[in-house]
């Protein structure tokens, strides 16, 4: 089977000969999209998904709706900026949860949904680009709780009882058609930036500590809307932007990145380790009570998963934007990480890109053996 992530498109099953058979997997056209915009509406599952054998569901995050100019597409724009839980036998969406309905800030919802057991339930956690951490029932999608995992979040005033954002209208980029020249809407300053409280870099969960380890970033942006028409092969934004560093008074220090140990029950940050440059690589935990992560400055680090005490670091000579991995071989445990700086931050980072322009690029693979006590 194949299925769309935007209503209006058609899904199909395939028979034993590989022929397409209409299976009716589709949303109702124009239910949450205006006119023909659903045809070029984005919402790609560009990060990939996960499967949970306990629930029998596959979980995929979906990207932002297109164009960025939200005034062109009134409505929730399903299933953009969402987590969708899919029955792998049929392709049917069993439930969905939308973090940013009618997104106007490029807050993709592609970040991973990590399932875990707690209080006799199968739950799932997601640290969204929009700065909120969501805890959902992994079987039904029911909203359990949500809270910010970044210190500066002002595009919404909070979440309602169903986890839907309570928007601050003053923080939505203005409609360009309402401006004097019709070319640029009002500029807003908003946190976090579209690069996200967390982006594609995977967080980690430890069943032993019950904590999530989130590579978080504190930054803001100026963003405005512009007129746009769809042209195949061209960028389809309808917006301009500049990434800004956060005010140290708002976040309690002069830094951008922070590895944060987050308690999904209380919503509290148990500990954090801040970093001058943005954290753009993933985290990993081990049964031995360690959490590993890399920094753009080239340090591969390990900390105590319970306390956050930094235990070890190694300079690999170039920035790290990949998650670590671990495996057992011949009775020994190994940890490895791919190093090499680049990607979205230097490309799109505005003022932040200037701040980290000195960082080394390059590419290499580093492998370490964990020594027994």
What is the spatial distance between Cα 201 and Cα 216, in angstroms, rounded to a whole number? 9
Give the residue among 69, 51, 71 at the shortest CA–CA distance from 60.
Answer: 51
CA 21 vs CA 24, 94, 176: distances in Å: 9, 21, 44
Give the residue among 263, 252, 258 at the shortest CA–CA distance from 293.
Answer: 258
DSSP 317-342: SS---S--EEEEETTEEEEEEEE---
Q: Cβ distance 55 to 95 under 8 Å?
A: no
CA 142 vs CA 89, 137, 272: distances in Å: 22, 5, 29
Residues counted in the chain: 373
CA 349 vs CA 15, 241, 323: distances in Å: 47, 10, 21
Q: Point out the residues that are catalytic.
A: 106
């Amino acid at each position: 089977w194949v299925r769309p992530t935007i209503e209006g498109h058609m899904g199909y099953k395939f028979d034993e000969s590989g022929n397409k058979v209409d299976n009716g997997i589709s949303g109702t056209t124009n239910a949450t999209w205006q006119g023909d915009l659903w045809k070029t509406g984005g919402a790609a599952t560009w990060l990939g998904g996960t499967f949970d054998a306990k629930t029998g569901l596959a979980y995929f995050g979906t990207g932002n709706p297109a164009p960025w100019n939200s005034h062109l597409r009134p409505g929730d724009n399903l299933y953009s900026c969402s987590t969708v839980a899919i029955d792998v036998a049929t392709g049917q969406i069993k439930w969905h949860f939308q973090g940013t309905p009618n997104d106007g800030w490029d807050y993709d919802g592609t970040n991973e949904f990590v399932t875990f057991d707690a209080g006799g339930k199968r739950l799932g956690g997601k640290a969204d680009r929009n700065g909120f951490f969501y805890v959902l029932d992994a079987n039904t999608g029911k909203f359990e709780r949500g809270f910010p995992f970044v210190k500066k979040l002002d595009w919404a005033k909070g979440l309602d009882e169903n986890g839907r954002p309570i928007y601050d209208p003053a923080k939505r980029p203005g409609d360009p058609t309402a401006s004097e020249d019709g070319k640029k809407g009002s500029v807003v300053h908003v946190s976090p930036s579209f690069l996200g409280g967390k982006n594609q870099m995977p967080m980690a969960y430890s069943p032993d500590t019950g904590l999530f380890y989130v590579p978080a970033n504190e930054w803001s942006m100026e963003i405005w809307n512009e007129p746009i028409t769809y042209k195949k092969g061209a960028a389809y934004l309808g917006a301009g932007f500049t990434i800004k560093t956060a005010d140290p008074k708002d976040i309690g220090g002069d830094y951008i990145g922070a590895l944060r140990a987050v308690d999904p029950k209380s919503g509290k940050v148990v500990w954090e380790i801040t970093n001058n440059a943005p954290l753009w690589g993933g985290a990993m935990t081990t049964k031995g009570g360690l959490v590993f992560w890399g920094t753009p400055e080239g340090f591969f680090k390990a900390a105590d998963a319970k306390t956050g005490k930094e235990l070890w670091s190694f300079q690999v000579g170039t920035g790290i934007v990949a998650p670590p991995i671990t495996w057992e071989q011949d009775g020994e445990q190994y940890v490895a990480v791919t190093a090499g700086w680049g990607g979205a931050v230097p490309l799109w980072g505005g003022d932040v890109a200037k701040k980290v322009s000195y960082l080394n690029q390059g590419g290499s693979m580093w492998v370490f053996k964990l020594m027994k006590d």
